[in-house]
Structure 1
Amino acid sequence: MAFLDIHHLEKSFGAARVVKDFNLGIEKGEFVSFLGPSGCGKTTVLRMVGGFETPTSGSIRIDGRDVTRIAANRRNIGMVFQAYALFPNLTVADNIGFGLKVAGEGKAAIRTRVAEMLELIGLPQLGGRYPFQLSGGQQQRVALGRALAVRPQVLLLDEPLSALDAKIRVSLREEIRRIQRDLGITTIFVTHDQEEALSMSDRVVVMHQGVADQVGTPFEIYNRPTTRFVAEFVGTLNLIDAELTDAAAGRIRLGDVPVALNRTLAGRSGDRISLALRPETVALGRKEDGNVVLSGHIAEVHFLGSVIRVRVAVAGQLLSLDTFNQPDRPPPAIGAPVEVSVSDRDLLVLAA
């Protein structure tokens, strides 16, 4: 059994089922992100793990202990909220030590632990300040220190970086990951930002309409999406309509071009299917392992700095590809005839 075991979890509000048969095992010390759009159920699952919502059905076990119906303050959970939720009338040190004080620890022990947390979050000189005297990033560090001070078994982070500007977000997410690794604490991180989820996590749970559409490592989620929703939600994607001509032999047709995928496909001849293809796997011209070659013309060119995104019209569809900027070589001209190539292994057949 996993350290944190979520089994057949469901949650309904009236007639609305917001979480549907959610199952997940998280190992001790693992960092798992729940990724998805607003309303997909990710925060509801987090709140059920934390004890702030009661499941309609299912169970939650932490280190073998069933906590499904146990109050939040008896679960040994650390929670960091999006809105910091610091006490404005308490100093930084008193905010961090608040949970320890409620737990009845002595003043000397609290002082020692608060000093440890201030050092851990990189604010050793700011214990005497009040929240209004801190930046947003510093306040979120204090919230993290307060959650960790009580030595929780599981740390829950509910979109803790969404209120910060982009540069601070990048810096703070690196700090959160460093602290999590140093402490070896089991962590769930809720976000709608795919870059945060992919860069920080051991595994990512992509949620859609109350269901875990796919669970996997960041590499798997990005490179091998198993559903159309995951493919479209995570990263930039080409979606290509094709016709299945021979399922057993893995043969399809893109417009008038026959393509062999060299693997068995589900379906029957004549079925319409969707293929997913990342822009970075498509090359202008012929590449060494590009056994699928399509002819078309340049439809759009977007200069993005180090990368140039080109859209090519092929087989009646637009195909995006990325190429590195080369200062001595201008981007291709709109309307120019071109060939594009891709390896058959990079063409993913998506489930509905």
Structure 2
Amino acid sequence: MAFLEISTLKKSFGANQVVKHFDLKVERGEFITLLGPSGCGKTTVLRMVAGFEMPTSGSISMDGKDVTALAPNQRNVGMVFQAYALFPNMTIAENIGFGLKIAKRPASEIAARVKQMLDMIKLPQIADRYPFQLSGGQQQRVALARAIAVQPKILLLDEPLSALDAKIRVSLRDEIRVLQQQLGITTLFVTHDQEEALSMSDRIVVMSEGRMEQVGTPFEIYNFPKTRFVSSFVGTLNFLTGKVVDAAAGRILVDGQEVITNRGLEGASNGDTRSLALRPEAVTLGQGGENRNTLHGKIELVSFLGSIVRIRVRFDKNLVTLDTFNTSSAKPPQMGEEVTVSFGHDDLQPLEEAVKVAA
């Protein structure tokens, strides 16, 4: 049995179903990120795990115990909010020790744990300060320490970095991941930032409109997206549309030119129209070699961006964008020039859903 099991979870607010079906098993010590745009239901899932929202249906179990109907203070979870939620009238030491005080732990134990937490977040000197005297990054470290101080079974993080500037956000996300690995604490992290998700997670759950689109490692989510939504939301992507000529062999005609995918087209029939995903970094100018697809087209746009030159090549209805490095010894291609682009069979990812073609 997994450490955290979320089974057929659904949540409606009146007629609005914000979580339509959510199933997830999380192993002890895993760092799981719920990734998706605003309104996709990710925070609602987190709040149901915390006990702040009751599911319309479904169940949640932690460490073998069903906690679906338990109040938040009976679940032993730690939560860090986007807005820090520190008590302004308490010192930093009092904020960190608040949960332990509510649990009626001895004063000596609270003092020792607070010191340990301040050392852990590398801010031992701020115990007697108040939240308004700290920077945003320091306040978020304190909020993290307060959540961890009670030694929760699960740590829940609701977009904790979104209010910080870019440099602090990158630094703090690395610190959070290192702390999580050191403590071995099971963690659910909510974000709409794909870079955060890819850099921090053991696995990512991509969500859209209350549904789970795909679950996988960062490598799997980025390199092997299963749906058009995942492909477009995680990273930058080219989309090609083609007609299946041999589903078993993964052969597709794109504007009359044949390409081969990295695998057979499951669920497709010859004559179907399917979408293909292709990362820009996988495309190169020039004729391909063995196990490479080639497409012939015309350059539609050339953009000089300093260290790179961004090139858009059109075939007919389809087009791809690719980047090449800017070097003083090589002139960039010109608009209207006929060129060949190539990419590996493994780089071309067929998406699961068929394309609907108007009659």
Aligned to 1:211: 211
Aligned to 1:312: 313
Aligned to 1:281: 282
Residues 87-122 of structure 1 show CA distances to partners (whole Å, capped at 9, x for unaligned) of 111111111111111111111111110010001111
* SS of alignment partner, residue 351 of structure 1: strand
Whether 1:100 aligns to 2:84 is: no
Conserved 8 A contact 1:256-1:315? no
Question: What are the equivalent positions in structure 2 for 1:160-179 lying under 5 Å apart?
Answer: 160-179=160-179
Distance 1:344 1:305 in 2: 30
Task: List gaps (5 residues or longer) in structure 2.
Answer: 354-359
Residue 303 to residue 139, structure 1, CA distance change in 2 (3 Å): farther
Distance 1:96 1:36 in 2: 31
Conserved 8 A contact 2:254-2:318? no
Counterpart of 2:327, as a letter, is Q
Question: What are the equivalent positions in structure 2 for 1:175-190 lying under 5 Å apart?
Answer: 175-190=175-190
Residues 158-211 of structure 1 show CA distances to partners (whole Å, capped at 9, x for unaligned) of 000001111110000001001101100000000000000000000000011111
Distance 2:335 2:175 in 1: 44
Please say which of residues 168-177 and 302-311 is displaced more in the overlay: 302-311
User: Paired residues, what number?
Assistant: 352
Aligned to 1:338: 339
* SS of alignment partner, residue 196 of structure 1: helix
Distance 1:97 1:155 in 2: 17
Aligned to 2:88: 88
Distance 1:289 1:52 in 2: 56
Q: Among all aligned residue pairs of Structure 1 and Structure 2, give the percentage whose two residues are the same amino acid.
A: 63
Distance 1:109 1:303 in 2: 61
Residues 203-257 of structure 1 show CA distances to partners (whole Å, capped at 9, x for unaligned) of 0000111111100000000000111111111100001111112323432211121
Question: What are the equivalent positions in structure 2 for 1:1-352 lying under 5 Å apart?
Answer: 1-261=1-261, 263-265=263-265, 266-289=267-290, 291-352=292-353
Please say which of residues 287-296 and 173-182 is displaced more in the overlay: 287-296
Note the C-alpha offset of 1:262: 6.9
* SS of alignment partner, residue 126 of structure 2: coil
Note the C-alpha offset of 1:308: 3.2
Counterpart of 2:53, as a letter, is E
Counterpart of 2:228, as a letter, is R
Distance 2:248 2:106 in 1: 71
Note the C-alpha offset of 1:330: 4.0
Conserved 8 A contact 1:249-1:262? no
Distance 2:248 2:105 in 1: 68
Note the C-alpha offset of 1:51: 0.4
Conserved 8 A contact 1:293-1:339? yes
Distance 1:345 1:194 in 2: 23
Conserved 8 A contact 2:215-2:221? yes
Conserved 8 A contact 1:289-1:342? no
Conserved 8 A contact 2:97-2:114? yes
Distance 2:134 2:262 in 1: 59
Conserved 8 A contact 2:288-2:294? no
- Provide TM-score, normalisation by structure 2: 0.94
Distance 2:122 2:308 in 1: 35
Task: List gaps (5 residues or longer) in structure 1.
Answer: none
Conserved 8 A contact 1:275-1:350? yes
Please say which of residues 104-113 and 334-343 is displaced more in the overlay: 334-343
Distance 2:18 2:11 in 1: 6
Residue 340 to residue 123, structure 1, CA distance change in 2 (3 Å): same
